[in-house]
Structure formats: C-alpha cells, structure tokens
Structure 1
Amino acid sequence: MPTEIWVIVGLCVLGLLLLMSSLARLYRKAGPHEALIVYGFGGTRVVKGHGAIVWPMVQVCRELSLELMSFDVAPQQDLYTKQGVAVTVEAVAQIKVKSDVESILTASEQFLTKTDQEREGLIRLVMEGHLRGIIGQLTVEEIVKQPEMVGERMRATCADDMSKMGLEVISFTIKEVRDKNEYITNMGKPDVARIKRDADVAAAEAERDTAIKRALAQRESAVARAQADQERVLAETLSQAKQAEAQRDLEVKKAQYLEVTKKQQAQADKAYDIQANVMQQQVIAESVRVQQVEKEGQVKVQEAEIARREKELIATVLKQAEIERQRIETLAEAEKQRLMAEAEGHASSIRQQGEAEAEIIFKKGEAEAKAMNVKAEAFQEYNQAAVIDKLLTGLPEVVKALASPLANVDRITVVSTGNGDAAGLNKITGDLTKMAAQVPALFETLTGMNMGDMLGKVRQIGDKAAKPPENGGTK
C-alpha cells in the first residue's frame, strides 16, 4: 500500500512538472523594445511590457519592433527649387512606431508581414515626395542657410501621413545640398568679394593707424626716455647723497648702539651674577627648608611609627604578657601548693636519706683516712731506690709530652755538613736528650724544691724506717 501511494505522488509531481514546462513554452514575453500582436481566438490584442499565454492552433503571436528606425532620404532625381535651380539634397530621417495601442495596431496592419527593407522603402517614398514638395517652395539660399527650417517643415508635413501608418517622425536632418551649375558655389562669391574688400580696407586702415600710433609712441617714448634719464641721474645723485648721509648716520647709530649694548651687557652680566648669587642662596635656603621639612616629616613618620608600635605592643605584647603573667602566677601558685605538699610528704624521707648519706660519707671518709694513713706509712718506707724508680718510670711520659709537637711534623729534611756528632740525625736525638735533661730544672722551677736536697732527705737504700709510736706517743 505505501509503495502505491509513493508511485501516485511521483506521477502527480511529474505531471505537474510537465504542465508547468508546457505553460512556460506557451508563455510569451514582450520586452520594452517590442510589442506582441496576438490574434486568432479571442480577437487581436496587443501585449507590451508583460507576457501572455499563446494557445497553439487557436492563436498566433508576432513581434512588432518599437525600436528607432534610421535611414537616408536621398532622391535620385534632381529637386527644383522655387527659382528653378536643380539641386540634390541628402537627409537622414529618424522614425519609430508610436507607443500607444491604437498606433501599434495601425502599424501592425501596415507592416506586420513586411520585412525591414520593404517597410523602410515605403516610408522613404513618402518622405521623398514630401521633401520634393517642400524644396519646390523654397529658394536655394533658404535651403542652404536655414536647414533647421527645412527639417521643421518636413516633420510638420509628414506628421499626418506618418500618423496614418502608426508612425512618428523623431527627427529630420539635412546632410548635404549641392547643384551641378555651381550656383551654391557662386552664391557666396559676392559676399566673399565684399568681405575680402572690407578686410583689405580694414587691413590698410589698421596698418595706417598702426604706423601713426607707432610714430607717436616712438616720439613719446624718446621724450619719456630723456625725461627718465634726467630724472634717473638726479635720482642717482640724490640717492648717493642720501646713501652717504645714511651711511654716516648708520655708523653713528652703530657706535651709539654698541656703547649702549656694552653698557647694558655689563649691567646684565653684573645683574646676572647678582641674580645668580641670589638664586643660589634661595636654592640653598629652599634646599635647607626642604631638608628641614623632610626631617620634620621623617620625625612625624617616626613618631607615628613609634605610636603605632606602642599601640601594637600594647595590643599584642603587653596584653599577652599580662595574660601570660596571670597564667604563670596561677601556675606558680598551683606549683607552690603542689611542691609544699610534696615537700611535706617527702620531708621525712629526705631527712632519713640525708642521715643515711651522712653516715655513708662518714664511713667513707673514715675509710679514706685509714687508707691515707696506710699510704703515708707506705711512703715512709720509701727509700732512694723507690723515689728514683718513680722518677724513671714517669720520665718517658715527660719526654713523650715534650716530643709530641714533633709528631705533627709531616716531613723533616736533614742537611748534614759533617760537623762532628751534632750533624744529621744525631742532631735530633741530641736535642731530645737535652730537652729530657732540662726536666729536673723544670721540676725545681715549678715546685721551688731542689731535687738534690729532696733526694738527700730520702732514706738511704737499706735503712729501716722508724715506726710511729703507738697510742699517740712521740718518736
């Protein structure tokens, strides 16, 4: 079912397109330069400026041109004027079909089936007949001198005949008029001779007047030249005198101006120096004033900054410090109460601990005292051999301490000159020996005791030390 519908729609569209194509072929349009004459079924009608459908077989359509027709009107036979002079006239005519419907129908009746040449031939015959009649009514002089009048009479004469054919004469212009007897040529000779004569007379009179005026002009020129020379010499003399006076006055004026200028220049220089000094003082004063104003402004800025910082300090630090102080006081009071409670709680234990520590210290001191007594008794037993042993056992440490700076030396270069035992490596060991030999002197300097005296006080080897008396007795 849908397929049949689409087929029907397609056929309808195709039929519509064929109908429109047929109507387009039947529709005839008339341009602005033509008119369509449609005759047959419905009678004769004129179509101009639009279109119309021309039905085939029952109507016929033909075009009728409304364009301007231009053609020459030149009769082959001579035309005779009012004076009987045979002339040949060539003219150009501009004719067209009138634009109204009645004139178009009239023109279609006259020329619709004729060609352009046949139509122009008929019109030319009518125009030549009227031209022949008009030329016979005029003289050669009128034809030659008034061609516009001939054209006007042609348009007026032909208007009725052209209107009967549905036409109108747009213009009619005479191109050329000539004759075989040179009438037109001779017609102008009297005028030419007269004009030539008048021209020769006028030229002679002009030459005469020119000669007279030239002579008068030369005389006046000579007189004027003489007067001009006299006046020139007088003017030159007066001018030279005036120039000399002017030069003298100029020199005087220059000297006066120079003097005045120098005075004014000197005054201006002095005034400039004075003004420069004044301006310099003003500049310095203004600079000082500006610096003072700047300093005042800086002071004000600093004061404002100090005030701002004070307010900021008050707003930030002092208030916070006050809050912190109150907090610390509160915490301190709480800590005080806590410590007092703890102190009261640990007082007894601390006292007991102190008493125990004192007892320990006492016992420890008593033990150290006994140890010192034992050590003293042991020192009393020392003799020279023990002292010497102590000195000798401590001597390597002393020598090591003295030689420790040499350990920081990266490299030693020994230059030997062969000077006895104090040369080469022996010099280094000799120096170390000398440094070790200086230890007793260093000991005596530091302790203030002579080592020989101290060793003399030590018990000799083999002597027995005296035992201390018991129970506090003396020895």
Structure 2
Amino acid sequence: MTTIAITIAIILALVLVLILALIARMFRKVGPNQALIIYGLGGTHIVTGGGRLVIPMLQSARELSLELMSFDVSPERDLYTTQGVAVNVEAVAQIKVKNDPTSIKTAAEQFLTKSPQERESLIRLVMEGHLRGIIGQLTVEQIVKEPEMVSDRVRANVAEDLSKMGLEIVSFTIKEVRDENEYIANMGKPDIARIQKEANIAAAEAARDTAIRQAETAREAAVAQALAQQETVIAQTASEARQAEARRDLELKKAEYLAAVKKQQAIADKTYDIQANVMQQQVVAEQVRVQRIEREEQIKVQEAEIARRERELQATVLKAAEAERQRIQLLAEAERQRQILEALGRAEAARTQGQAEAEVARVKGQAQAEVIRATGEAEAEIIKAKGTSEAEAMRLKAEAFQGYNEAAILDKIITNLPEMLAKMSQPLSQVDRITVISTGDGANGSGVNQVMQDLARMVAIAPTLVESLTGMKIAELLERVPGLREHVERSAELQAISPDQDGTGAKGS
C-alpha cells in the first residue's frame, strides 16, 4: 500500500508539473514598452505592461513595440519656397504609438506585420509630404530665422494623419537648411557689411573720444597741479597762523595757571579761618545738646508725675464716669431693640392687612364672576323664551296658513302693505328740500295741498294695486275668511308677551 501511494503521489506531482509548464508556456507577457495583441477566439485583446494566457490553436498573439522611433526626414529632392528658391531641409522626427487601446489597435492594423524599416519608410513619406507643403508657403528668411515656427507647423499639420495611424509626434526639429545657389550665404552679407561699417564708425568714434579724453585729462592734470600749489600756500599760511595761535594760547594758559594758584592760596587761607569758626560752632552746639538732654530728663520726670496723677484720677473719678457711660449705652441698645420690634410688628400688621385685602378682592372677584354667570344664564333664558315664543307664533301662523289658505294670503298682503307703502314713499324721503310755487288759482288749491293730495292718492291706490297684482279683492277675502278677527287678536297677544331683541321689554303689536 505504501508503494502504491508513493507512485500515485509521484504521478500527481508529474501531472501538476506538466500542467504548470503548459500554463507557463501559454502565458505571454510583455514589458511597459510593448503591447501584446491577442486575436482569435473572443476577438482582439490588447495588453500593455502585463501578461495573459494565449490558448494554442484558438488564439494567436503578436508584440507591437511602443518605444520612441527617431529617424531623419531629409527629402532627396529640393524643396521650393514661396520665392522659388530651392532649398534642402534636413530634420529629425520623434514618433511613437499612442498609449490608449484604440490607438494601439489602429497601429496594429497598420504596422503589426511590417518590419521597423517599412514602418519608418511609410511615416517618413507622410512627414516629407507635409514638410514640402509647409516649405512652399514660407520664405527662406522665415525658414532660416524661425525654425521653431516651421517645426510647430509641421507638428500641427502631420498630427491628424499620424493620429489616423495610431501615432503621435513627440518632436520635430530642423537640423540644417542648405541651398546650392548660396542664397542663404549671401542673405547675411548686407548685415555683415552693415556690421563692419558700424564697427569702423565705432572705432573712429572711439579714437576721437580717446583723443578728447587725453586732452581733457591733460587739462585736468594742469588744473590739479595749480590747485595743489595753491593749497600748499594756503596750508603754509594756515600752519603759521596756527603756530601764532598756539603761542598765544600758551601765554594765556600760563596766566590762567598763575591766577589759579593765587586763588587756591587765598581759598586755603579762608578755609583755615572758616574751619576755626566751624570748630567753635561745634563746641557751642555740643553745649546746647548737653542742655537739651538735661531738659529732656526733666520733662520725663514731669511726665511720670502726670501719669501717676492720671492713675489716681482713674481710680477715683473715671471709674464712675465709665460706669455711667456703659449704663447709657445699655439704655440706648434697649431703645434700639424696642424700635426694631415695633418695626417688625408694623411689618407683620401690614402683611396681615395685605392678606386680608387680597382675600376680600378674591371674594369680590368670585361674587362678580357669579353675578356675570347669573346674568349670562338669565340672558340665555330670555333668549330661549324669546325663541320659544317666536317658534310658537310661527307654528300657529303655519297652522293658520294650512287651515285657511285665503287667510294666509290676506295676512301676507296686510303685513307687507306698510312696507310697500314705505318703499313707494322712500324716494320722497330722500328729497332735502321742496320748493312749492303756487299761483292760488288752481282747481286743486295751493301747491302744498297738491303734494298732500298726491300722497293720499298713493296710499289710496295701494289696495287697488294689490288687487290688480294678485287678482283677489281684499274686501271679499275679509268676508270669506271666518274667525280672522280672533286670529289677529291672538297673534297680537303672542307678540305682546314675547321679549324684544335686547331682552329688557316686550314688543308691542
């Protein structure tokens, strides 16, 4: 059993090693300067700076270089400028594949099966074509003096075409510009002649300035020499004057020293006299001090005697006075305590009075609230009674209307007749002033009588107006409705007992 197990383990190990070897062989990896293009099963895949398994017989893989490509751009034929001058331009271009997957896939479509020489040849043709077009738009002076401008134009024009191939231009530099007609060599001769002329002029001006400067220097040297001699004389004169001043100062110093010596001698003599007087004054002061000390001792003896007498007075008179003072203080303290107690009593009485007044106010407020509540209840009862009476009147009126249809019509007519008459006379009430002009000879009398007659006619025609509108005669209705008088009297009684709108009286009929 052990041998079989070992054999199985060895076989499994060999199988595992073979699987790992197969996987290692299938795994393809590239560096950061390369792109791995995997195509076949699953489409096209791009891997940069990494690795991936490539399944044999189902997938294939190729490597595409992403490194910078540098090559010379030097057209074999001359390039003609806008002036018609033939020039030979040599440049250096730096090209590389863009790093995004789309550009790498585009470059793989264009260059994957081509060698580096073929790839470079294709790119060079594109660069030379664009360079030829740009040179044809410029002058020789612009090409020679502004190479950076030429390079920028080439990069701008060729970028689109290179992008279609998945490439980008990193740099484009003009190396050399030549021509066989020596146009470029002669182009600088005017500047050279001008520079030589300016150099000769500058040399002549320099020689002239040198001569002028030498003359000025000689003149300045002569002036300086004269000034130096003049300053020498002035210095000698000043030296002699300073020597005379020094001799004068010496004599003055000698005189000052002699005067000071004599002054010091006089001061010394006076100082001796003053010192003698001072010593005499000190002796007198010492005598006065001795006398002062004697007087101080006498004063001390007198003060001791006074203190003794004071103690005697304290023992006899002051003790009694102190006892009286303490008694007066005790009486004053008792009076102060009494006043404090009285003040506290008054405060307590005021507090008690305030509490009593507050209680009275509370009771008064409760009473007022009770009165207000009772008033409200009474008003509510009045309103309730009023509503009940009005409801009863309306109920009786409704019963009368149901029982006596013609009576209801008559009641409505009679009830609304005053309001109708008021509405008819309302325009007249709006008149502020009436001016009546009467001649006295009218058939109806004066103007005032005419106005009154008109009002009377308006009132008289009201029943007729009602009869014409309703088609019913009021007199016939009065005769045809039995018990109408009793109904009217009963309604009047109900109106008399019902309260008015203010709840303080009865409404008359």
TM-score (structure 1 length as normaliser): 0.49
Which structure: larger Rg? 1
TM-score (structure 2 length as normaliser): 0.46
